[in-house]
Amino acid sequence: MQDLREGLINAFWLLATFDSDLVEITLRSLQVTITALMVASVIAMPLGTFLAIKRFRYRRLIVAVLNALMGLPPVVVGLIVYILLSRSGPFGVFGLLFSPTAMIIAQVIIMVPLIASITHQTIREIWSEYRDLMISLGASKVQRIQALLWDGRRPLLTASLAGFGRGIGEVGAIMIVGGNIDHATRVLTTAIALETGRGDFGLALGLGFILILLAIIVNFAIHMFAQTERQSLW
């Protein structure tokens, strides 16, 4: 309990003094996860939509695998990305290991199945409602996809936020591929792991509270931009 109170006090002081290390690792957390989220959304949303509206032979199998991969263990993803990016691995020549880029790659892999699965579920439901109407109106393929994505924007936003949540709090993969290097790849979650290792639970908890606060602020900001949850708009 003592540690919890100390954690709250630490969080307050770190914020109040605008600690420069804190600002740095917080921005890096955001940079890694938001970049990964954008890349993952660009891959996963068309993939989910495609799986929802196109009928082909192994569709059911692919959807089942995608759903299963929502629970992909980050530490395994980290290890695989590590081996691929290591100097003695197949992509070693790029020298990407222990860089923010490596962390982004790992997080994209973690996020894609989650976002694609939710997108697939969402678009499938809308498509079953709109299908006959769209065909009778003679909408082109592009028009159909546009309409589906637009009308599914709220659930798709939820898909993105779920991806963000999975990424921002993740530590297993980015610890392995990023290496938790001070001023290079240290982010909030790896800093928390480090301070816990030093036995400084107060500081670790302080950073933890800041991480939670950050997640709340980002979610709130996205809702503001997207104008959801307003009285006049459902």
Partner 1 sequence: MKTFLCAVVMVMIMTTSSSADQLRMAVTTSFHNSGLASILLPEIKKDIGLTIQLLVVGTGQAIKLGKAGDVDAILVHSKSAEQALVDSGYVLHRREIMFNDFVIVGPSSDPANVRKASTAVEAMQAIASAKSTFVSRGDDSGTHLKERDIWIGAGLDPVNFEHWYWSVGAGMGVALNTATAQGAYIFTDRASWLNFKNKADQILLFQGDPILFNQYAYLPVNPSKHPHVKANFSTNLENWLTSKRAEALINGYKINNEKLFFFNAKR
Task: Give me the 30-59 binding string for partner 1, x by CB under 8 A, dash otherwise.
Answer: xx--xx--x---------------------
User: Are 119 and 190 contacting, i.e. CB atoms less than 8 angstroms apart?
Assistant: no
Token pair for 171:
């530590």
Token pair for 168:
């921002």
Those residues with Cβ within 8 angstroms of residue 91's Cβ, 6 or more apart along the chain or in another chain: 84, 85
Residue type, 17: T
Q: What are phi and psi of 152, to 5 degrees?
A: -95, 15
User: Is residue 91 a contact point for partner 1 (CB under 8 A)?
Assistant: no
What is the closest distance, in whole angstroms, from the C-beta atom of residue 142 to partner 1 in the complex? 19
The DSSP code for 231 is: S
Report the residue from 54, 57, 141, 198 that binds partner 1 according to the rule CB under 8 A. Answer: 198
Of the candidate spans 45-53, 64-72, 143-151, 175-183, the one that interacts with partner 1 by CB under 8 A turns out to be 175-183
What is the closest distance, in whole angstroms, from the C-beta atom of residue 201 to partner 1 in the complex? 6
Report the residue from 10, 122, 160, 180 that binds partner 1 according to the rule CB under 8 A. Answer: 180
Distance of CA 36 to the CA centre of its chain: 6
User: Is residue 200 a contact point for partner 1 (CB under 8 A)?
Assistant: yes
- Site residues for partner 1, 207-226, by CB under 8 A, read 225-226
